[in-house]
Amino acid sequence: MSGKISFQGELGAYSHQACREMFPNMEPMPCRTFEGAIDAVRRGEADLGMIAVENSTYGRVADVHQLLPGSGLRIVGEHFVRVHINLLGVPGARLEDVREAMSHTVLLGQCRAFLNDHGIKPLTGADTAGSARAVAGKGNAALAALASELAGEIYGLEVLARHIEDAANNTTRFIVMAPAATLPEVSDRPMMTSFLFRVRNIPAALYKAMGGFATNGVNMAKLESYMTDGSFTATQFFAEVDGHPDDPAVARALEELEYFTSSLKILGVYPKSRFRL
């Protein structure tokens, strides 16, 4: 696929890595914020958007779920990136030269053991790719960056230590956003369905709404709640299930769900990532 794909962050960010892995022929379009990345697709400046939604270590990405309902876009795919962190230095630098390492505060916390073992002082930067760019600009062998290998490739830095993260399974999930389109047809390929709903204000509404998925044997991969419109009582749920809305079991479960909800909106139907299989 050709065209442009937007993402939040700078060139060399893990979001950029996700774009390259899933759509190597598309032109990456960095955006300062998640809202900017979504707006780029909505305005037609980008064909797709690669949006980070959750991390296996730190949970869901703040604000993204608030942006999805009003975006007017649909989820058309998902991708998982294993977050490998590398110590990147200027050309000619050696590991023993490094005295400080710059990165986003989250990544600094994920490499605490390595930094302590090598006597390297953590230095907070705006983000991972931006830190790599800043280190490249300073040209100081005593200053390194913690970022992806892609960031090192883009900004001309060398890998001084590879995969230094403390957690062995740190992974970020991304969803691919596109302008509203018709639902894909049912196929033999495993599918996912993402949707938003609000339960009616009746006793045990959520319990009853979820019962349809259990009785129809539909696996619910995710169920999250969050407040909307600044109200403590207006709770919205984001859910994801295995299957296509036209699968008989999923169709029956959604029909039962609709009876107990005041609103129900399908956000996307898309192929399940191979990471899940």
pLDDT tens readout for residues 141-177: 999 999 999 999 999 999 999 999 998 888 999 999 9
Is residue 174 flagged as an active site residue? yes
**Total-model pTM:** 0.91
Domains and CATH numbers, the chain: 4-83+170-179 (3.40.190.10), 86-161 (3.40.190.10), 191-276 (3.30.70.260)
pLDDT tens figures, 247-258: 999 999 999 999
- 248-259 and 205-215 are packed helices; what angle lies between their axes, rounded to 10 degrees? 170
pLDDT tens figures, 264-277: 999 999 999 999 87
Q: Does 13 have pLDDT greater than 90?
A: yes
Q: Across the strands, what pairs with 119?
A: none
pLDDT for residue 185: 85
Q: Does 1 have pLDDT greater than 80?
A: no
Is residue 172 flagged as an active site residue? yes
What gap in Å lies between CA 133 and CA 116, rounded to an integer? 24
What gap in Å lies between CA 74 and CA 183, rounded to an integer? 10
Annotate 205-233 with b (16+ C-beta within 10 A) or e (fewer). Answer: bbebbbebbeebebeeeeeeeeeeeeeee
- Out of 172, 195, 213, 260, the active site residue is 172
Q: Which two tokens stand for residue 83?
A: 């977050």
pLDDT for residue 58: 78
**Among residues 55, 52, 83, 77, which one has the least CA distance to residue 65?**
52
- Out of 23, 174, 197, 213, the active site residue is 174
Q: What is the mean pLDDT of residues 184-207?
A: 88
Residues ≥6 apart with Cβ < 8 Å to 212: 218, 252, 253, 254, 255, 256, 257
